[in-house]
Amino acid sequence: MDFKFSKGTGDAGQQDAPGEKKNQSALLVLLLLLVGGFSYLYFFTGLIKPQQAPQPAESPAPQVVKMPLPAPDSAGAGADKNDATPKSEPAAAKEAPKPAQPATAVPAAKPSPPVKAKEEPKKPEPPKVAEKKVQPATVADKKDKKPAVAKADEKKPAAVKSQLPAAKKAEPVKPAGKSQTAEVTPKPKKTAAVASGSAKAAPVQAASGGSWSVLLGQYVIEEALSADMGRVRKAGLEPVVKAGSRKKSAMNRLLLAEFASRGDAQAELARLKRHTSDAFIMDQAGKFAVYAGSYLLDVRASSEKKRLTAAGFPVSIKRAEIAIPTQSLTVGPFKDKKAAESALGKLKTTGVKATLVKN
C-alpha cells in the first residue's frame, strides 16, 4: 500500500493551535476581571462582606459610697453609733445609685480634743449634742463641708427675707403722716376761697368804677342803625353794637301765589328770584305760599309792589305780626359816671337821643 502525506494536513494542525491559545487568553482575562470585581465588592463595599452585630453598651459600674467609721470616744457612744450604723448602711446602699445626691450624709464638725470630750460628760445636755454632731473628719467630710456652708449661706437670705416682711408691715403704721396730708390738703380750699374773695371784690370795684354806659336805643332797621353809628363817630366816640331782644312789629308781606305742590312753588320762586332777592316760600295749612318779600315800612312795600307788578308778578300786601331781632347801640362802658355824662353831652350836640345805663 502506498501512503501519501500531503503538506495540507500539517498546515491545518498548525493553524488550530493559535486559535486555541487565543481562546485560553480570553478566558484568563475574563477570569481575572471576575476575580477583580469580586475582590472589589468584598473589600471595598459592604454588599458581600457580612455585617457585624453591634455590641451592647456596657452598663456603668455601681458606685460605692464609703461611710466614715465611728469615733472611739466612749463605750456608750460607740455602742449607740454601732446600733445606728446598721440602719444607715442599707439607706446608703439604696441611695448609692443616685450620684446627684451626695449631700445626704450629715456634715461632720471638727473633732473636739479629748480634754473637751472628757469635760463634756459633766454637763447633762452637751453629751447628746456631741453624740449627734461629733464625728471623725475624713476627706469626704471635708468635701461635704462646702455644701453645708452653702446651705448656711442660703439660710441667711431666708432670714433676711423674713425680716423684710416685718419691716414692710411696720411701715404702713403712719397715722400721723396721713393726718398731716389731710391737714395740708385743705390749703388749696383756702386759696380757692381767697381767689373767690378776690373775684367777688373785682366785680364790686368794677361796679363802683366802670359800670356806666350810654344807650342810644334798639334798632330793627339797618339804615337807622348805620345813621346813628355815623353820628357817634362824629362825636369822637366808638359805637358798640350788640344783639338785642326780639321785638314784635307789624310787617308788610308781598304775596304772589299759593301752590298745592312744592315743585310748582319752587319753579315760581326761581322765576321771581330773577327780579328780587327777598323772595321766599312758606308752608301755610298744607299749601306753599310764595312771597316776594317782607318789609317793615309801608312806603317800601308799596313801591316794591308797583315794581313787581310792572315786571309781570302781580303781588298783594299781607300784614302780619312778626318777632324781629333787634340790635342795641351803646357807647362805653366808662370808669365813672362823670365820663359817661360827658359822652352823653357830646351825643346830644349831634342830635342823638341817648340815656345813661348802669351795668
Out of 126, 142, 164, a domain closes at 164
| 100 part of a folded domain | no
| 327 part of a folded domain | yes
The mean per-residue pLDDT over the stretch 169-190 comes to 42
For residues 222 and 283, membership in a common domain is answered with yes
Closest CA to 211 of 340, 52, 305: 340
The helix or strand, by DSSP H or E, that contains position 94, with its residue range, turns out to be helix 75-95
For residues 131 and 260, membership in a common domain is answered with no
Cis, peptide link before residue 314, omega less than 30° from 0: no
For residues 217 and 351, membership in a common domain is answered with yes
For residues 348 and 223, membership in a common domain is answered with yes
Query: Domain tally for the chain?
Result: 2
**pLDDT value at position 55?**
66
Residue 229 has pLDDT above 80, yes or no: yes
Closest CA to 332 of 227, 239, 207: 239
**pLDDT value at position 27?**
92
**pLDDT value at position 333?**
86
| 5 part of a folded domain | no
pLDDT-based confidence at 33, cuts 50/70/90?
Answer: very high
| 3 part of a folded domain | no
For residues 136 and 222, membership in a common domain is answered with no
Instruction: Give this prediction's pTM.
Output: 0.30
**pLDDT value at position 223?**
79
CA angle 18, 24, 26 (to 5 degrees): 105
149 lies in which domain range? 106-164
For residues 328 and 253, membership in a common domain is answered with yes
d(CA 285, CA 265): 15
pLDDT-based confidence at 177, cuts 50/70/90?
Answer: very low
What 8-state DSSP symbol labels residue 3?
Answer: -
For residues 151 and 240, membership in a common domain is answered with no
For residues 236 and 299, membership in a common domain is answered with yes
**pLDDT value at position 35?**
92
Supply the CATH number for residue 244's domain: 3.30.70.1070
pLDDT one-digit tens code per residue, 231-266: 888 888 888 888 877 777 788 888 888 898 888 999
| 207 part of a folded domain | no
CA angle 334, 237, 207 (to 5 degrees): 10
For residues 316 and 253, membership in a common domain is answered with yes
d(CA 206, CA 21): 148
For residues 335 and 228, membership in a common domain is answered with yes
CB atoms within 10 A of CB 214: 26
**pLDDT value at position 17?**
60
For residues 134 and 253, membership in a common domain is answered with no
